[in-house]
Structure 1
């Protein structure tokens, strides 16, 4: 759920729904998780409608490859 805002790999019919709140974060029941997922969702909505972040202040999706969850080997 945490990385659902990264929708570039989704099929067209599965794009456009963005969730936010502490219940979809790594820190449930904390305001920090709600704020973090809200920022992620706003970035997702912005890019969904063709917007973008400043190169001087990249959004969470712009740096997701560096800060996102690690993919563990099988």
Structure 2
């Protein structure tokens, strides 16, 4: 079931951080939050301290650089 309630401030911050990381990702993040029954995103966001909801640059083991949310 799709959640049509307004996003919480933490959820809105996640949407904004994804949008800053790459335009268009904010809409995907919002869709995943609203379909929490399938994705679990809203639950994860609720359990994550707000200080960790930021975009950071990082690298993966295969050396590709990318922007991501979290630590």
Using structure 1 for the length normalisation, give the TM-score: 0.28
| Greater strand content | 2
- TM-score, normalised via structure 2 length: 0.28
